[in-house]
Amino acid sequence: MPEPRPLRIIHCFRSPIGGIFRHVRDLAEAHAKAGHEVGIVCDSTTGGHYEDALFDEIRPFLALGLVRLPIRRAISLSDIPALWSSYKKIRSLRPDILHGHGAKGGVIARIIGTALRVNRYCVARLYSPHGGSLHYDTSRLSGKTVFLLEHVQEYLTDAIVFVCDFERRTYVRKVGRVRPCNERIYNGIDDRDFETVQARPDAVDFLYIGMLRDLKGPDLFVDAFARAERAIGRPLSALMIGDGPQKEDYQRMMLERGLGRRIDMRPAMKARAAFALTRHVVVPSRAESMPYIVLEALAAGKPVIAARVGGIPEILGQDSAALARPDDAQSLADIMVAAMTEPDWTTRVMPEPKAFKAAFSASTMAGSMMALYRRLVPESSANG
């Protein structure tokens, strides 16, 4: 039997920041190494020097290129020229797979994919929510509008890929029964990320790393840190790494509580570099889907303390003692105290390494995704 032909895959998403960008980079690298041709379409107005460096790393794996154009977060008339520009570029690349990530990426992939199919191109249209629009409130008009749009776009969708069971349940609850083919494929990380990162001698007790906005809970981290200090009865140390729109709010919060000398703040850096600076990683988010930072920290051998939100219990275990009540600084502080004072806490509470790697490796993720792509693209089709 002849080898199946390589596929031409284009990933569409809005912001090249955070988990979606990491997810796409890992898929692109894995599939390119397997002989497929991959490209990316994303926003040109977000990201900075750090993200530019990440693009430089992934560029050798992008045989179909990198297309960046202005894509606004909110729906607006400016989407029309962006869609037209994307359509012309994507049409010239003749993809087999258009995979949209996040709400805006899903719109681009499905509308353009449908337009291509009208013109007799054989292309599969996939959508991965990655949380995104699913964070909206069903009781608000904005949420009702978003979920109606999600429902309508199902008619333009060949498959929906959920990154965790929580995301699929949330979709069903807010949007309705999933009509297209759908699968749950966990996020995964590369084998090189499963090497233990030793803490430096001057490492802090606790690290927050991520976007500096209330949804991710930096304010809860600061509050919980102060409570843990009082409970233990001695000064602790912490580090907050990241950028975001509310950075000054958290700086002011630390100064008002007299924590400025014990909680340091630094701009975004690679996660593994940050892990060397700490003994524990704290993920205090108010909402999540399947956060990469939890996977990366565990793979690096770092104990994780996290809020019981999104798919995090699917990583740490539904009954894990490392899970705090959502939006509850005291619950978070109690676990931080336990991690600092109980000698066997990490061994007893963290997931078993071998089982964790089997479930959350990039090879498992990429293999499952490719199997889905193959099912959606007839072997006889030829767009290349």
Report how far residue 170's alpha carbon sits from residue 14's, in angstroms, rounded to the nearest whole number: 22
| Mean pLDDT, range 281-290, rounded to an integer | 93
Is residue 2 a part of any domain in this protein?
no
Do 25 and 144 fall within a single domain? yes
Least confident of 38-42, 69-73, 262-266, 324-328: 69-73
- Number of domains observed in the structure of the chain: 2
Question: What is the number of H-type helices and E-type strands within the chain?
Answer: 15, 13
Which tokens is 379 given?
Answer: 């072997």
Do 199 and 162 fall within a single domain? no
Half-sphere CA count of 266, side-chain side, radius 13 A: 15
Going by pLDDT thresholds of 50, 70 and 90, the confidence category of residue 384 is low
Do 86 and 231 fall within a single domain? no
More confident position, 374 or 79: 374
Is residue 12 a part of any domain in this protein?
yes
Report how far residue 25's alpha carbon sits from residue 30's, in angstroms, rounded to the nearest whole number: 9
For residue range 125-167, list pLDDT tens digits in order.
999 998 778 888 899 999 999 999 999 999 999 999 999 999 9
Do 94 and 153 fall within a single domain? yes
| Mean pLDDT, range 49-78, rounded to an integer | 85
Do 204 and 216 fall within a single domain? yes
Contacts of 167 (CB under 8 A, 6+ apart): 129, 130, 131, 134, 184, 289, 290, 310, 311
Do 61 and 181 fall within a single domain? yes
Report how far residue 260's alpha carbon sits from residue 254's, in angstroms, rounded to the nearest whole number: 5
The answer to whether residue 78 scores a pLDDT higher than 80 is: no
Contacts of 183 (CB under 8 A, 6+ apart): 159, 160, 161, 162, 368, 372
Contacts of 249 (CB under 8 A, 6+ apart): 219
Mean of all residue pLDDT scores within the chain: 92
Report how far residue 166's alpha carbon sits from residue 184's, in angstroms, rounded to the nearest whole number: 10
Which tokens is 5 given?
Answer: 């032909």
Residue pair 304/283 in contact by the 8 Å Cβ criterion:
yes
pTM of the model: 0.86
Is residue 384 a part of any domain in this protein?
no
**What is the percent of the chain where pLDDT is above 90?**
77
| Mean pLDDT, range 85-94, rounded to an integer | 88
Tell which residue, 374, 368, 376, 377, has the closest CA to residue 162.
368
| Mean pLDDT, range 285-291, rounded to an integer | 90
Going by pLDDT thresholds of 50, 70 and 90, the confidence category of residue 76 is low
The CATH number of residue 154's host domain is 3.40.50.2000
Q: Which domain holds residue 167?
A: 8-188+361-376
**What is the percent of the chain where pLDDT is above 70?**
97
For 147, the 3-state DSSP assignment is helix
Task: Return the pLDDT at 2.
Answer: 65
More confident position, 71 or 299: 299
Beta partners for residue 40, in sequence order:
11, 66
Do 106 and 216 fall within a single domain? no
| Opening angle at CA 236, ends 231 and 241, nearest 5 | 125
Do 32 and 179 fall within a single domain? yes
Do 180 and 221 fall within a single domain? no
Task: Return the pLDDT at 191.
Answer: 87
Least confident of 242-246, 274-278, 291-295, 363-367: 242-246
